[in-house]
Amino acid sequence: MGRREGPLKESAALHHGIDILAIDVCGEGAPAEVIRTAIQRWGRIDHLINNAGATAVMRLADTDERTITNLLA
């Protein structure tokens, strides 16, 4: 799962058994869509790990509150 379908497809093509879902987990309704899609594809969810994250390389002096909030939200 990720936001950019192209890179997801490239990774999935290298490994058998990988299924993708291009979605921004911060988008409205996205968590429900992830659950709905998983159940639709596999019938159930045995484990769910939230490992979404973001990063930004910048000097601390050059950042602002909104950037930090977006990285940690």
pLDDT digits (tens, 9 = 90+) for 6-46: 888 998 899 888 888 888 888 899 989 999 999 999 999 99
CA distance 12 to 19: 7
Q: Is the pLDDT of residue 1 over 70?
A: no
Q: Which residue has the higher pLDDT, 2 or 7?
A: 7
pTM of the entire predicted model: 0.62
Give the pLDDT score at 44: 95
21: phi then psi, degrees, rounded to nearest 5: -145, 110
CA distance 69 to 63: 11
Q: What type of residue sits at position 21?
A: L
Give the pLDDT score at 39: 95
Give the pLDDT score at 73: 64
Hey, where are the domains in the chain? 5-72
**Type and span of the H or E element at 31:** helix 30-42
